Amino acid sequence: MLILSVVIFIAGLAIGSFLNVVALRYLKKQSVVLPSSHCPKCLTPLKFWDLIPLLSYLLLQGKCRYCKESISPVYPLVELISGVIFLWSYFIFGFSLQSLEFVVLGSFLIVLSIIDFKEFILPDKIVFYNLIAGIILKIGYLINGSNINILLYSLAGAFIGFLFFYIIFLLYPEGMGGGDVKLAFVLGLFVGFPLVFLWLFLSFFLGSIGGVLYLLTLKKRFREPLPFGPFLALSALITLSWGIYLINIYFSLIWRI
């Protein structure tokens, strides 16, 4: 059990390293494949021992081996988050289609969150790829013997999520981006009906808490834009993991009142 958990965590770290490349090169409008990995400061090509997820950063004390310039802590943080998501998936779902769905969604959401934090955008292309992945996975459930209702519930969740955010976008376009609306459709597809309502609640609940912390820690002004995508992402992962459990707790408390 412990050895398997370590292997899964290491696999998540490796995927996280790749997600760093995808997100940061997308921002620079560069190919994911070329050029090979290099220091963003001195442009020196990196050897494989410079690219060991998390470990290389720690051994080099957060500095480039060649130019000694500081390496952004975003790199190891993303690797760590990816490793945690892989372990999270394994502990909740084991080895299953649900586990695959969770890590695929989590990987896309990591990339989108990085870009949203840096540029306050959720690129249509990546959101679209996430949608295609979601549709393929839902079809996979049908092939695996699930009832057709799982697809209907997924579509219902997608349209509810989209409609909710689209109404907000129409009423308050300054506070809600079009990318959030499109991502809401995708995440609604993943969480499905009726968990989409819990996801909506958690998104704004966590977003309000995170927004306050974001303003305080980064010393932003109240009316400056805040990235909402990461809160949509975290809420979706929580909903997929413990949604039914949280709803049962809620209704058990209601019946006691």
Task: Encode pLDDT of 178-223 as tens digits.
Answer: 889 999 999 999 999 999 999 999 999 998 888 777 777 765 555 5
pLDDT value of residue 138: 92
Cβ neighbours of residue 119 closer than 8 Å, sequence gap 6 or more:
27
Nearest 5°: CA angle at 58, between 56 and 60? 65
**Which residues lie across from 63 on neighbouring strands?**
70
Residue tagged 């899964």 (tokens): 8
Q: Is the pLDDT of residue 168 over 60?
A: yes
Going by C-alpha positions, the residue among 189, 164, 191 that lies closest to residue 176 is: 164
Top pLDDT among 253 and 94 is at: 94
User: CA 227, CA 232: separation in Å to the nearest integer?
Assistant: 10
Residue 54 pLDDT greater than 80, yes or no: yes
DSSP-derived secondary structure for 161-203: HHHHHHHHHHH-TTTS-HHHHHHHHHHHHHH-TTHHHHHHHHH
Q: pLDDT band for position 89 (50/70/90)?
A: very high
Instruction: Tell which residue, 186, 86, 169, has the closest CA to residue 126.
Output: 186
Among 46-55, 71-80, 100-109, 128-137, the least confident range: 46-55
Instruction: Identify the band that residue 41 occupies on the pLDDT scale cut at 50, 70 and 90.
Output: confident
Average pLDDT, the chain: 87
Tens digits of residue pLDDT in 227-254: 888 999 999 999 999 998 988 887 777 7
Is residue 209 within 8 Å of 153, Cβ to Cβ? no
Share above pLDDT 90 across residues of the chain, in percent, rounded to a whole number: 53
The per-residue pLDDT for 250 is 78
Question: pTM of the full predicted structure?
Answer: 0.91
